[in-house]
Structure 1
């Protein structure tokens, strides 16, 4: 008896189009934001997912995303961000007529140079919100720095001149400002506790520089867009401590809960000329210093612990030597393990990324504009690209 063997019928391949809507949205939510924006042009169904509340909920369940760095330049160009995950340059959206001054999570805070008006925006979606006018302190004191942190987010303004410092705080959950609050000189000799690992919240430590300190050579000028830059790290004590550079070159620590301030020791002697910035990486605050020693330049990362500054990282000498004699200025920003350093001068420019935990340094690829020219960037602000974040 002869048996006939029939061929097995092959099932047609199944693709994303065969998935149920909620499963499809979960898959799309896991894509890097830049990839999703490119792929949503595939079909109307994928494009409509961006407006779906369930898709935004699925995005919110993604625990973390690689940061984007919003790049700033002294030349007008469309807003550009560096995607640290895909190592690519992407266009993003910005608040018109304003410059970034702070960032937190997926939001960036913009300030109008002419009026001082503040706007919070999501650079990924373009959604924005104008903040109420902050209360005025007596005598309209100088604004030192702006900090943004927490969820719901808080915005803190630090104003005045030593020894007369004050602060006002905007609480987004209340949609109102609190203060101004005067800060008194601390009578304690102990310095704030070292920051712990953890996420940002209402009990955060705020670090920032005024960018107007005369620790920098008089013929050097910092980026105006980083004049009020700030960083935020969590605190073990459940309060917030703000750090900025005074006009004499010392770092001032402001305890916002106790309403006091104190000065920290210098990293380098007063007669040295150097450029300095403060960053936050993995819940810790660091000072980044570019200085010249003998016949070379050195870029080092310092952490303040146990009442003293301790070096934790340094750019390889072969890389930092190129800034010798260039009177370069640095503007830095951190996110997670990553530290970005933007070096600018009339002769040398470049953006570098460092993994602080491993001390691995690399130079970012060039960003070429539509005319084929390489964009030179002065500074950056980091944010986590999240389409679901509202303002």
Structure 2
């Protein structure tokens, strides 16, 4: 043995087995591996090599994506300059910003599963899109309605779109079913007989209160003096994308769907889309108080987020209606919420899973009172999201609202 070693120069030959790379995987196995990559990686699959490009476009790859369990949400972020900016989403799993594929319009109004619903402000035309793939399609026109649009809800899989029409208390609903690609005719909604009455300070529901000339009080406006002596109106001022938004709780198949939305005066309305009944929930604060409010749904429950000022500071709290009363379930740390004091900031919120995204916007050009925050409701943990830096010398974007969706390559429009 020693002589053999000496004859070979004193070195033993080493035999190394090279590890197989992804290019050596069977096509079916490669598709399964690629399907489990982070969704942001899907944009780069086709640029790696020919094999990956073919795999990423195959039906088997989409089937493998469908077998992946639920993914962490993306939040489609909206700014005041939405028309001038590419679509941006916050990837909750990576904690980073991601670009979305071309959006069909500047005004999203609802989202469900992996899809976002857009509405044209001038015509009311509706378009559904998958922001991850860029695929989109226009929905057929809804049936003609004499009543104005009040709220839009999107829910279930296959998805449905519900248009809430009219003015309180005369509401109706038209529903689009993607499985049949048809709208049903608008049907009237009835008020729950056991609904809790609104606060004594709240205005009478629109349509029930008449002025001295006999005309309906259509806008439900209540005027009051602010702390500084300025005459204020209680009408809700909503951004274009949140004007008709709602929060929906339901089963995965869309059963037992309940939509929550705000009336023009800031009251929370719950609408059972299955039983076709609605109720106005009691107010958290008097109608003449100064505050910003929005409603969200996450983990199958509905919450209300309220930003208000009290005793020379600002507070941002999350409430749930349970047992006939509002209960506080989370609150932003005072050191964070105090930054909104005196800014007249507005909150627009969206939920997904156990998290709530809160976009705070004051309209201040220097960014004071602006920011996006994530709240884990169960643990009451809050974090401020990093600023989204603009490209090509643009300023960092301030977002006024967001819509959540699950990034799924396989979801068809």
TM (normalized to structure 2)?
A: 0.84
* Match in the other structure for 2:185: 179
Aligned with 1:70: secondary structure?
Answer: strand
* 1:267-312 Cα distance to aligned partner (Å, 9 max, x none): 1122211111111111111000001112000100001111111000
Aligned with 2:339: secondary structure?
Answer: helix
Residues 53 and 152 (structure 1), Cα distance of their counterparts in 2 relative to 1, 3 Å cut? same
2:403 to 381, 384, 387: 381
Contact kept? 1:167, 1:181, Cα under 8 Å: yes
* Match in the other structure for 2:134: 126
2:57 to 30, 51, 59: 51
The 5-angstrom pairing of residues 76-91 of structure 1 reads 76-91=84-99
2:243 to 219, 227, 246: 227
Task: Tell me if 1:338 matches 2:355.
Answer: yes
Structure 1 residue 4, shift from structure 2 partner: 4.2
Contact kept? 1:107, 1:121, Cα under 8 Å: yes
Rounded to whole Å, the distance in 2 between the matches of 1:247 and 1:231 is 16
Residues 306 and 345 (structure 1), Cα distance of their counterparts in 2 relative to 1, 3 Å cut? same
Rounded to whole Å, the distance in 1 between the matches of 2:404 and 2:374 is 12
Aligned residues between the structures: 369
* Match in the other structure for 1:265: 282
Contact kept? 1:94, 1:121, Cα under 8 Å: no
Residues 223 and 16 (structure 1), Cα distance of their counterparts in 2 relative to 1, 3 Å cut? same
1:255 to 251, 264, 272: 272
Unaligned segments of structure 2, at least 5 residues: 6-11, 198-218, 224-231
* Match in the other structure for 1:206: none
Higher Rg of the two aligned structures:
2
2:327 to 300, 310, 320: 310
* Match in the other structure for 1:197: none
Contact kept? 1:215, 1:274, Cα under 8 Å: no
Contact kept? 2:87, 2:103, Cα under 8 Å: no
The 5-angstrom pairing of residues 311-330 of structure 1 reads 311-330=328-347
* Match in the other structure for 2:161: 155
Unaligned segments of structure 1, at least 5 residues: 192-211
Contact kept? 1:213, 1:245, Cα under 8 Å: no
* More displaced 10-residue stretch of structure 1: 124-133 or 260-269: 260-269
Rounded to whole Å, the distance in 1 between the matches of 2:301 and 2:153 is 16
Task: Tell me if 1:33 matches 2:48.
Answer: no
Contact kept? 1:98, 1:113, Cα under 8 Å: no
Structure 1 residue 222, shift from structure 2 partner: 2.7
TM (normalized to structure 1)?
A: 0.89
Residues 235 and 11 (structure 1), Cα distance of their counterparts in 2 relative to 1, 3 Å cut? closer
